[in-house]
């Protein structure tokens, strides 16, 4: 890998490289990817070497504190190794890139809107734990509480690769805080995840096929209300896909962000259509992930989060809702790769 990086460095230093922009961008992407892989390898090797030295010292001196330090080093190396194993499963075309996530309240009335807001918080906490940058593009408040819908971006290495494991319908079972009789309610929210498409991929959008509406942005209780029609809603007439953005005070910026989301939605729409055609040619019955219940979060009578695809479950519901999603994502990626994704977590 070091030899490969040296070759790529030499290639990227060629003054004629940028005569072919596509090739130049490909070389730089490959170089950055190789450098990241090498950094991970070197960091893991260092942690293992440090743990080995500490363990030898602990044995020689019969020192419990040094032994504990060695165990901590090994535990950190194991976490890094697990993460590296996950990355090996992320070989999709856009897995390395950023993600666009939409959360929409489903059946369940006010509880569903509240559940959509809880899911947003969960994903933002998870993104924060990975040092991903997030930006909310559009947010629609529920009538009484919570959110009817929200769209945000997560920017960072492998953001799409990880978050695509979360696409589907999420179910919440709890004693409703909105029920005066304190009865148990079930609420649903749908999560859609799209890769953020860069400019190197051409997605043709015919302006004549778009209906662009502007409206006045605002939040619950009249917060953040603009005095101008800065929010933008774009409808792609041939597919019926609707995107909107009201995050910025500038109509121009909102239009640009909405078009970015539309490009990602159209790309994913075309990809899924192609997959369905190929499945039909092979005589397979195509199943669509979105719209299927992938995970249940039960707060009453017992405390349990269970993924129905992998059977992986955890009892620490509060931890999951605070963003502890890595084990669920790992189980799903292993399941999709054909590995053993079943089991339980503490």
For residue 25, what are the domain limits? 2-88
309: pLDDT strictly greater than 90: yes
Could you tell me if 185 and 261 lie in one domain? yes
Question: Residue 66: CB partners within 8 Å, gap ≥ 6?
Answer: 54, 57, 58
Facing residues of 186 across strands?
Answer: 173
Q: How many domains does the chain have?
A: 2
Average pLDDT over all residues of the chain: 85
Mean pLDDT of 216-232: 58
Domain assignment present for 270? yes
Give me the pLDDT at residue 115, please.
Answer: 97
Could you tell me if 126 and 81 lie in one domain? no
Could you tell me if 80 and 117 lie in one domain? no
Helix, strand, coil percentages (3-state) for the chain, rounded to 5, are: 45, 20, 30
> Could you read off the pLDDT of 48-63 as tens digits, one per residue?
999 999 999 999 999 9
Give me the pLDDT at residue 285, please.
Answer: 44
Last residue of a domain, one of 251, 266, 291: 291
Give me the pLDDT at residue 292, please.
Answer: 63
Could you tell me if 70 and 193 lie in one domain? no
Domain assignment present for 71? yes
Confidence class for position 336, pLDDT limits 50, 70, 90: confident
Residue 142 half-sphere exposure toward CB, CA atoms < 13 A: 21
Q: Helix H segments across 132-250? A: 159-163
> Could you read off the pLDDT of 66-91 as tens digits, one per residue?
999 999 989 888 888 887 887 778 87
> Could you read off the pLDDT of 160-193 as tens digits, one per residue?
999 999 999 999 999 999 988 889 999 999 999 9
291: pLDDT strictly greater than 80: no
Domain assignment present for 230? yes
Domain assignment present for 312? no
Domain assignment present for 329? no
289: pLDDT strictly greater than 50: no
Question: What SS3 class is residue 229?
Answer: coil
Confidence class for position 94, pLDDT limits 50, 70, 90: confident
Could you tell me if 80 and 111 lie in one domain? no
Q: What is this structure's pTM?
A: 0.69
Domain assignment present for 343? no
More confident residue, 290 or 338: 338
Q: Could you tell me the CATH number of the domain that includes residue 240?
A: 3.30.70.1660
Could you tell me if 80 and 108 lie in one domain? no
Could you tell me if 48 and 8 lie in one domain? yes
Tokens of 104: 């929409």
Domain assignment present for 342? no
341: pLDDT strictly greater than 70: no
Could you tell me if 147 and 71 lie in one domain? no
Mean pLDDT of 304-308: 96
Question: Residue 298: CB partners within 8 Å, gap ≥ 6?
Answer: 173, 174, 304, 305, 306, 317
Could you tell me if 134 and 276 lie in one domain? yes
Give me the pLDDT at residue 82, please.
Answer: 80
Domain assignment present for 314? no
More confident residue, 29 or 223: 29
Give me the pLDDT at residue 18, please.
Answer: 87
């Amino acid at each position: 890998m070091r030899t490969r990086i040296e070759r790529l460095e030499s290639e990227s230093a060629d003054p004629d490289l940028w005569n072919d922009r596509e090739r130049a961008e490909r070389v730089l992407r490959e170089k950055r990817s190789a450098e990241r892989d090498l950094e991970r390898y070197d960091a893991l090797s260092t942690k293992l070497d440090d743990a080995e030295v500490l363990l030898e010292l602990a044995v020689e001196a019969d020192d419990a504190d040094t032994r504990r330090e060695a165990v901590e080093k090994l535990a950190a190396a194991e976490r890094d190794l697990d993460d590296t194993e996950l990355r090996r499963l992320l070989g999709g075309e856009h897995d390395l890139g950023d993600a666009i996530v939409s959360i929409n309240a489903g059946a369940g009335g006010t509880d569903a809107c509240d559940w959509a807001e809880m899911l947003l918080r969960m994903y933002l906490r998870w993104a924060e734990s990975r040092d991903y940058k997030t930006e909310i593009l559009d947010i629609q408040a529920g009538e009484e509480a919570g959110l009817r819908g929200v769209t945000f971006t997560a920017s960072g290495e492998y953001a799409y690769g990880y978050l695509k494991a979360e696409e589907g319908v999420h179910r919440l079972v709890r004693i409703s805080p909105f029920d005066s009789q304190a009865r148990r309610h079930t609420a649903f929210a749908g999560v859609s995840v799209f890769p953020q498409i860069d400019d190197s991929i051409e997605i043709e959008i015919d302006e004549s096929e778009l209906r662009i509406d502007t409206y006045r942005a605002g939040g619950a209780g009249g917060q953040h209300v603009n005095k101008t029609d800065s929010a933008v809603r774009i409808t792609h007439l041939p597919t019926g896909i609707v995107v909107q953005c009201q995050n910025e005070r500038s109509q121009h910026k909102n239009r640009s962000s909405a078009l970015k989301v539309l490009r990602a939605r159209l790309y994913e729409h075309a990809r899924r259509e192609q997959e369905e055609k190929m499945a039909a040619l092979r005589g397979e019955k195509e199943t669509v992930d979105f719209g299927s219940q992938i995970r249940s979060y039960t707060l009453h009578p017992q405390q349990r989060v269970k993924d129905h695809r992998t059977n992986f479950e955890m009892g620490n519901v509060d931890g999951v809702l605070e963003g502890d999603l890595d084990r669920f994502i790992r189980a799903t990626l292993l399941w999709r790769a054909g590995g053993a994704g079943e089991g339980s977590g503490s």
